[in-house]
Structure 1
Amino acid sequence: MTKHVLSRTLMPANLSLLAAGVTIAAGALLAGAPAFADHQGHRQANAPQAAQQKPATADAILKIAESQMGVTENAAGGGTPFHSWYMASQRAKETVARDGGSIQAYANAPWCAMFVSWVGEKAGARPTIGWDAYTITWAKWFQKNGHWGTQAKPGAVVYFSWDDKSTDSIDHMGLVKKDNGDGTITTVEGNTGNGKVEQRIRPTSQVVGYGYPQYNA
């Protein structure tokens, strides 16, 4: 497997960012689960099949993420189940309309965000986790909805930058498994430097911030 450099924007190479401040459409409202507002201040009503599931816990999210460890991209940097799922989703149409390009451009795009999106969908937690292919817009969605902070919590969505700690410099994202209490966190991530879903230990010095989905206790 050829190692690759992660794209800062984590968007398909031929997509231009036309609306960096546009927030994620929150998706279908889960019965009994809080949903964040979309960019118009409404809650989405077109429920997918996943919306019929019970609201997720952080433990359930992490178990789904860990079940995918070892899934590997192809030589072109794509070909995972997360790419094909995202390309077939309504969200892909929405992000192409927002950012330009084409759905096919996602086929070999950096996929850390698509992986977290897929996990949230499988857990029935899309309204509270969000879904997107662009890490920076996703982080700003958590910020706008008041679910952003600097404390590592199990199941939190973690955003990394290899350069500095500004939101606009975010390079990568994953899910927090635990705070190790020694200046590092254990995570589950897709699109690692090895082109896989892997568990990683990361220094908190690389963390820009955390998005906090509203899980069941």
Structure 2
Amino acid sequence: MSLSPRYTAIPFRERLTLPFREGLPFRGRLTLPIRGRLAAVIAAVMAVVAAATIVIGVLVGVQRPLPTAADALKVALSQVGTTEDAAGGSKFNQWFMSSPYARAGVERDGGSVGDYANASWCDMFVTWVGDKAGVKGMGGDAFTPSHARWFKDQGRWGTVPKPGAVVFFSWSGGGIDDIDHVGLVIRDNHDGTIRTVEGNTDDAVKIRTRSTDSVVGYGYPDYGH
């Protein structure tokens, strides 16, 4: 179909719709493709796709399962053999100093963040494991009695050595105020001992077998199943 000179002389923007010439097998008005309309359609489609992507992302985030005890233990066991430096510090001390747990400890106990550089790091190791594994309800501290009290205050304290539980030890057999050391339970051996993975034991991360006689209690993180 050719347009009459009368229409071809009109600028494109001003001739968006044209009547059909007489004699054609159909009647009506011809609407030429409009760039603006096409762009609007494309923009609408892109908006729908973007919205769907956001919704899917939110749903995936909501439905993402919590880390399990096995996930936390996998992280902990990957550090077996890690040792401290000559000054008594470790990678876990350095990480802890950059975490909000160090600042909270200073606000509570005084001193400075730098004081954690070469401090005993068994609880810093446990805190690091919880953070790296993305575990909720692990808490975080460098002072074991305070960490134990936190679990108790959260209603996550007990006497059953579940895998992944945070186990608190007192070598003198005392209570929470006398806690000396902390680790993670690997398993209950059902013979009065437990298998654990601990930091700052003989200046390294190691697997140990401990008597439950030295256990003050267990903190239970919020693990998935």
Q: What does residue 211 of structure 2 align with? A: 203
Q: What does residue 162 of structure 2 align with? A: 153
Higher-Rg member (1/2):
2
- C-alpha displacement of 1:165: 3.2
Deviations 1:98-155 (A, max 9, x none): 1111111101000001000000000111x31111111001100111111111110000
Q: What does residue 182 of structure 1 align with? A: 191
- The aligned amino acid for 1:202 is R
After superposition, where does 1:55-204 map in structure 2 within 5 Å?
A: 55-78=66-89, 80-125=90-135, 127-192=136-201, 194-204=202-212
- Are the equivalent residues in 2 in contact too, given 1:86–1:114 (CA < 8 A)? yes
Which protein, 1 or 2, shows the higher relative CO under an 8 Å CA cutoff with sep ≥ 6? 1
Distance in 1, matches of 2:79 and 2:178, equals 27
Deviations 1:172-205 (A, max 9, x none): 000000000111000000000x100000000000
- C-alpha displacement of 1:55: 2.0
Deviations 1:5-56 (A, max 9, x none): xxxxxxxxxxxxxxxxxxxxxxxxxx669xxxxxxxxxxxxxxxxxxx8521
Distance in 2, matches of 1:210 and 1:103, equals 28
TM-score (norm: length of structure 1)? 0.73
Q: What does residue 40 of structure 1 align with? A: none
- The aligned amino acid for 1:69 is V
TM-score (norm: length of structure 2)? 0.71
- The aligned amino acid for 2:108 is R
Please, what is the CA RMSD of the aligned residues?
1.5
1:215 aligned onto 2:223: yes
- The aligned amino acid for 1:103 is V
| Unaligned ranges ≥5, structure 1 | 1-30, 34-52
- The aligned amino acid for 1:129 is M
- The aligned amino acid for 1:85 is W
Structure 1's consecutive aligned runs of 4 or more residues displaced over 6 angstroms after TM superposition are: none
- Are the equivalent residues in 1 in contact too, given 2:65–2:224 (CA < 8 A)? no
Which structure features the higher share of helix residues? 2
